[in-house]
Amino acid sequence: MKINRSTKPAPQGKLEINLPAVEKFNTDGDVPFYFVRKNDLPIVNLRLIFRAGSKADPVGKTGLTYMTSMLLDEGAAGLSTFEIDAGFENLGTGFSISTTQDSIYISLLSLNENLEQSLDLLGKIVNSPDFTEESFGIEKHKLVNKIKRKNDDPAYIAGNAFENHLFKDSGYAHPALGYSDDIERITNDDVKAYYKKYLVRENLTLLAVSSIDSGDLEKLLKQYIFPVQIGKTAVESISLNPEEDGRFIFVHKDNSAQSEIRIGHRTGLRGEENYYSKILLNTIFGGQFSSRLNLNLREDKGYTYGIHSGFNYYREAGFFEISTSVQSEVTHDAVAEIMKEVTKLASGITDEELKFAKSYLIRRFPALFETYGQLVNHLTAMINHDLPSEYFATYLDNIRSVTKKEVENSIGLINPSRLNTLIVGNKDTALEKFKNVENSNFSMGNLKNV
């Protein structure tokens, strides 16, 4: 049969969408426990979230949260770090600890048949870390060198310098890894004190995506994970300085073949009502491959391998950021083109753009819950921002109901005069054309400070 290729085939039939049901209850007194049943494979993905992130690092001791979390599995309850690691490997269990600005995540991916033994190890790590002087010395040394290595990466430098500028003098100003000079000042006693203060029951939330029953899982958690040490929530709220007008900051890095560009400013919190308008706006502007920014700077001009924008959210702050890396010689042209796109936003969006953005967000939603790990990450975001447990169930309607007017109202949240531009690149090839930037607004960043 000869087919007609000239038009796009229409979808065949409608689909029924099943979104995961999130159960939320309290366990062992008052620890919140989020649970999603998923039976695809005989596995359990579990995460402990302690509400204690790098924003709680003391002034002059950035990196303390990261150090503490990294030391948890460097020996616990009489087991050496090697015994712990071999234990997990023998069980085929994935175990990881990570530190963000707002939280510490301790995660476990285990086969059902090895879950109990995995939890036994996890309980030892959470409840009885040894914090020996020897491990402390080794990990501190490692961290300082790790930062050295990361600081060769222009994208890492740019991201840190940009957020440092947006959030200066607050707990969000420094990277979770901390700064080397500060880390040299941290002592093992600092680590022990941090652990005692922050890794406590009132700071803990549990979540699991599991092929075993919530009741059975809870029993195991009670037996192996609790008691987590008793203690009160201790993380203090951060305070942010009022934001100034946008600045232009250039950080010179020798021999850069490209310029890393970050443009943006602070915006509102995740919980604000216009969240869905902002998602739609950003989808159109720079949130995916077919966005205005990418079609212009990549698919038309060829300046970059890719450009992206997003509204980003910490628990207590938010910011809008455009990020890309471009060939050094076209740095100025690329920034000018980005600013042109920002300015163009003021004339609004089209009906087609909104239709596309809604279709994109709505139809892809069910696929976001395909793997255990994806679900764990979505639940984590939900917990971090105190979203209601019916968040998934109401998401689609929330997107559908946004009007064009509402999206256009949110355009005003991106304010051209407040946008900061930060570039990490080679001043000899990238900076020349920026000579019109007003002196009062311009500064050279220093690689040593970022």
Partner 1 sequence: MSEILNLEYLKYPLENGLEVILYPKPGIPVVSLNLWYRVGSANETRGKTGFAHLFEHMMFQGSQNVPKEKHFHFIQEAGGTLNGSTSIDRTNYYESVPSNFLEMILWLESDRMGFLLDALTRDKLDNQKSVVMNERRERYDNQPYGRAFETLFSNLYPEDHPYHWPTIGWMEDIEKFNLDDVTSFFKKYYSPDNATLVLSGDFETENAKTLIDNYFGELSSNGGVQKITAKDFELNETKEIILEDDVQLERIYMAWHSCEAFHEDDAILDVLSDQLGGSKNARLYKSLVHEKQLALDVSVFQYSGKYDGSFLIIATAIPGVDTEVIKEEIKSELRKVMVDGITDEELTRSQNSIKSTFIYSIQNLDTISDHINYYNFYVGDPNYFAKDLARYNNTTRERVREVCEKYLSKPHVELKITPRGKNENK
Where in 311-350 is the site for partner 1 (CB under 8 A)? 325-327
Is the distance from CB of 387 to CB of 221 less than 8 angstroms?
A: no
Structure tokens at 246: 């946008």
Contact pick of 32, 58, 94, 231 for partner 1 (by CB under 8 A) = 94
Task: Compare residues 308 and 418 and give the one whose CB is closer to partner 1.
Answer: 308
Q: For partner 1, which is the closer residue by CB, 128 or 290?
A: 290
Closest CB to partner 1 among residues 55, 140: 140
Closest distance of CB 408 from partner 1, Å: 21
Look up tokens 């007194």; give the residue: 29
Considering beta carbons, is residue 277 or 426 the nearer one to partner 1?
Answer: 426
CA torsion through residues 317, 319, 325, 328, sign? negative
Q: Could you identify the residue written with the tokens 């600045």? A: 247
Q: How many Å apart are CA 168 and CA 114, to the nearest integer?
A: 46
Stretch (H or E) spanning 365: none
Measured from the CB atom, is 117 or 415 closer to partner 1?
117
Binder to partner 1 among 174, 201, 253, 270 (CB under 8 A)? 253
- Who's near 31: CB < 8 A, 6+ residues apart? 201, 204, 205, 206, 226, 228
Task: Verify binding: residue 17, partner 1, rule CB under 8 A.
Answer: yes
The stretch among 55-63, 262-270, 367-375, 403-411 that binds partner 1 (CB under 8 A) is 367-375
Q: How many chain residues interact with partner 1 (CB under 8 A)?
A: 78
Measured from the CB of residue 118, what is the shortest distance to partner 1 in angstroms?
11
| Direct distance between the N- and C-terminal alpha carbons of the chain, in angstroms, rounded to an integer | 64
**DSSP letters of 199-242?**
SSGGGEEEEEEESS-HHHHHHHHHHHTPPPPP----PPPP--PP
Among 23, 26, 90, 443, binds partner 1 (CB under 8 A): 90
* Selected binder of partner 1 within 257, 336, 346, 381 (CB under 8 A): 257
What does the alpha-carbon distance between residue 174 and residue 178 come to, in Å, rounded to a whole number? 6
Beta bridge partners of residue 205, listed in sequence order: 49
Please give the Cα distance from 193 to 422 (Å, whole number): 37
Q: Which of 27, 210, 258, 331 binds partner 1 (CB under 8 A)?
A: 258
> In the bound complex, what is the minimum distance in angstroms from residue 58's beta carbon to partner 1?
26
- Pick one of 270, 298, 315, 332: the residue that binds partner 1 (CB under 8 A): 298
Check binding of 78 to partner 1 (CB under 8 A): no
Q: Which of 254, 351, 386, 438 contacts partner 1 by CB under 8 A?
A: 254
Residue number, 200 or 423, with CB nearest to partner 1: 423
State the minimum distance, in angstroms, from the CB of residue 94 to partner 1: 7
- Of 128-157, binders to partner 1 (CB under 8 A) are 138, 141-142, 145-146, 148-149, 151-154
Considering the complex, state which of residue 15 and residue 59 has its C-beta at the smaller distance from partner 1. 15
For partner 1, the binding residues in 202-241 under the rule CB under 8 A are none
What are the structure tokens assigned to 421, written together?
Answer: 């531009």
Residue closer to partner 1, measured from CB, 340 or 363? 363
Question: Closest Cα to residue 81, out of 11, 134, 19, 157?
Answer: 134
Determine if the peptide bond prior to 227 is cis (ω within 30°). Answer: yes
Task: Identify which of residues 204 and 263 has a Cβ nearer to partner 1 in the complex.
Answer: 263
Distance CA 385, CA 74 (A): 31
Q: Is residue 172 within 8 Å of 101, Cβ to Cβ?
A: yes
Note whether 225 and 126 are within 8 A (CB).
Answer: yes
Q: Does 59 bind partner 1 (CB under 8 A)?
A: no
